[in-house]
Amino acid sequence: MTDLVLLSRDGDIATVALNRGERMNAFNLAMWDALEEVMAEVNGDAGLRCVVLRGAGEAPFGAGADIAEFETVRADAAQARAYARRLDAAMEAVADCPWPSLAMIRGACVGGGLELALNCDLRVCGEGARFGIPINRIGHCLPMPAMRALVELVGRSVALEILLEGRVVTAGDAKDIGLVNRVVADAELAAEAEAMAGRIARGAPLAARGHKRLARRAVDPRPLTEADLAAAFEVCDSADYREGVRAFLAKEKPVFKGE
Task: State the amino acid at position 244 in one-letter form.
Answer: G
Output the CA–CA distances (angstroms, integers) from residue 111 to 147, 208, 234, 236, in the order listed.
12, 29, 39, 42
Under DSSP, is residue 6 helix (H, G, I), strand (E, B) or coil? strand
pLDDT in tens, 32-86: 999 999 999 999 999 999 999 999 999 999 999 899 999 999 999 999 999 999 9
For the chain, the maximum distance between any two Cα atoms, rounded to a whole number of angstroms, is: 64
Question: Does the pLDDT of residue 109 top 90, yes or no?
Answer: yes
Under DSSP, is residue 215 helix (H, G, I), strand (E, B) or coil? helix
| Cα–Cα distance, 220 to 148 (Å, whole number) | 12
Output the CA–CA distances (angstroms, integers) from residue 82 to 29, 70, 73, 79, 88, in the order listed.
11, 12, 9, 5, 10
Per-residue model confidence (pLDDT) at position 1: 47
DSSP 224: P
For residues 108 and 61, the answer to whether their CB atoms sit within 8 Å is yes
User: How large is the average pLDDT for residues 113-121?
Assistant: 97
For residues 81 and 101, the answer to whether their CB atoms sit within 8 Å is no
Backbone angles phi, psi at 74, to 5 degrees: -140, 45
Reported as a pLDDT band with limits 50, 70 and 90, residue 2 is: low
| Cα–Cα distance, 191 to 197 (Å, whole number) | 10
Higher-scoring residue by pLDDT: 196, 70: 196
Question: Does the pLDDT of residue 231 top 70, yes or no?
Answer: yes
For residues 114 and 62, the answer to whether their CB atoms sit within 8 Å is yes
DSSP 251: T
Per-residue model confidence (pLDDT) at position 152: 95
Question: Does the pLDDT of residue 208 top 90, yes or no?
Answer: yes
pLDDT in tens, 129-158: 999 999 999 999 999 999 999 999 999 999
User: How large is the average pLDDT for residues 203-224?
Assistant: 96
Q: What percent of the chain has pLDDT over 70?
A: 99
Per-residue model confidence (pLDDT) at position 197: 98
